[in-house]
């Protein structure tokens, strides 16, 4: 499972002990991400009507530059930071299973 990746790169903590089929990672006080083993390789990514691959998960961070630099130093598959006027800065990363995750720096 990818639990170590989420802990190292996103600072998430284990909510419960890892089992053979799933891991639960604490995102906030009352929020968690469940990573569940599947029979066949699959991701949460989807293609929007314009043809772009999109992520089903966006995480807001307080210091986008620090998170970006930390992930780059960990050799994470990462795309550059997008700076937008209307919705703030964000970048996309891919976990070891190919799930695309958007990291958002919040509203400007």
Q: Which residue has the higher pLDDT, 1 or 96?
A: 96
Domain match, 64 and 93 both = yes
Is 70 exceeded by the pLDDT of residue 66?
yes
Q: What is the pLDDT of residues 6-46, one digit of tens each?
A: 999 999 999 988 899 999 999 888 899 999 999 999 999 99
What's the pLDDT at 1?
53
Q: Are 43 and 96 in contact (CB under 8 A)?
A: no
Q: Is the pTM of this model over 0.75?
A: yes
Query: Residue 25 is part of which domain span?
Result: 1-37
pLDDT at 68 over 70: yes
Helix H, strand E, coil C: the string for 54-93 is ECCEEEECCCHHHHHHHHHHCCCEECCCEEECCCEEEEEE
Q: Is-contact 81 68, C-beta < 8 A?
A: yes
Both 90 and 102 in a single domain? yes
Same domain, 26 and 60: no
């Amino acid at each position: 499972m990818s639990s170590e990746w989420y802990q190292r790169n996103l600072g998430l903590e284990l909510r419960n002990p890892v089992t053979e089929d799933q891991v639960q990672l604490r995102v906030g006080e009352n929020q968690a991400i469940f990573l569940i083993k599947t029979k066949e390789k699959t991701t949460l990514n989807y293609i929007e009507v314009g043809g772009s691959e999109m992520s089903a998960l966006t995480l807001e961070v307080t210091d986008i530059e620090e998170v970006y630099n930390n992930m780059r130093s960990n050799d994470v598959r990462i795309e550059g930071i997008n700076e937008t006027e209307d919705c703030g800065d964000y970048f996309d990363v891919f976990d070891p299973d190919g799930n695309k995750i958007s990291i958002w720096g919040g509203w400007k």
